[in-house]
Amino acid sequence: MNDHIAPPTAAPAPALQPVRAAGIATMTALALAGLGWAARGVWQIRLAMAGEPASGPPDQGGGVHRPLTSLEDSYHLVTTVSGFAAAVCAIAFLVWTGRVRDNARELSGTRPRYSGLWVYFGWVVPVVNLWFPRGIIADAYRASAPGERLPRSLNVWWGLWLIGMLSGVGLMYGDNTDEIIARAYAHVWQLLASDAAVVGAAVAGIFVVRAVTAVQERHLDEP
């Protein structure tokens, strides 16, 4: 009689995406972006030590620009390379974030608090960009490691990122390179404080990516 009772079937294992390669690529990109921003700081110090030429800042106003010195010209090159490194870092970080978010959904079996669009738009929409990116990663960690405390590096990373972003208004993002050169001659410490926060955020971000990737790798390594 009991022969016709089917044995209970095990629940299907979560369909997790591999994250190790994406994590390594993101950590490498963060390191390169941090080095790029550190190089900007070094060149800004060199500009401040050299002092503004007698001919004045590169942007003379009224659409007039004087020829750049060799040091100013090399700073343009440094900002271009560091900007490219930052762009590559942003792409790698977004790909990694989307992957760990999807894995967290599979592990928890519940719908994430933030929709997939916020993985991308959460960084650029005003106001929500002050906490959405951190929230997405924090939720991914909680779903991947229930009951475990969030890594301290998460709050360090986000705090430094906010400092770099808010202090960078008019410094890193609003001004063109020639205007930043003029600021380096007059107020280099403002630039260096912002650069230091960005470099620190890149270093802390490496630890964040490592921590979240590691907890998801534990699930992927389970038989």
How many residues in the chain? Answer: 223
Residue 14: band (very low, low, confident or very high) from pLDDT cuts 50, 70, 90: low
Q: What is the pLDDT of residues 23-47, one digit of tens each?
A: 999 999 999 999 999 999 999 999 9
Q: Per the structure block, which two tokens stand in for 216?
A: 């998801």
Average pLDDT, integer, range 111-117:
88
3-state SS, residue 60: strand
Whole-model pTM over 0.85: yes
CB atoms within 10 A of CB 100: 28
Closest CA to 215 of 112, 103, 121, 105: 103
Integer Cα distance of 195 and 168 in angstroms:
8
Kindly give, in sequence order, each residue whose CB lies less than 8 Å from that of residue 186, ignoring residues fewer than 6 positions away: 52
Residue 10 clears pLDDT 90, i.e. is over it: no
